[in-house]
Amino acid sequence: MTTFTEVFQARLEAIEKRAEANGFTMTDLCRKTGVARATPDRWRERAPQSVAKVDVLEAELDRLIAGKAAQ
């Protein structure tokens, strides 16, 4: 059985890989979403109680990739 922490860590890793594959960094995403840059690093150590900020990071990445594709 997969735990919340495992799912969360996989999701965070996928966001970072997608960002890098599309020319963005976690710093870019954090800056655009108002998430402190240290936050994803803390999440790697311990998953948060809420994933709302991860949803925000993922949505911003989707927006950035869509904007890049439209250029």
* Cβ contacts of 4 within 8 Å, gap of 6 or more: 47
Q: What percent of the chain is predicted at pLDDT more than 90?
A: 73
45-70 confidence digits (pLDDT tens): 998 877 888 899 999 999 999 999 88
Task: Write phi, then psi, for 60 (nearest 5 degrees).
Answer: -65, -40
pLDDT reported for residue 49: 79
Whole-angstrom Cα distance, residue 18 to residue 24? 8
Q: How far is CA 34 from CA 1, 6, 23, 24, 51, in A?
A: 34, 25, 19, 16, 15
Maximum separation of any 2 CA atoms in the chain, in Å: 42
Place of tokens 């890049």: 68
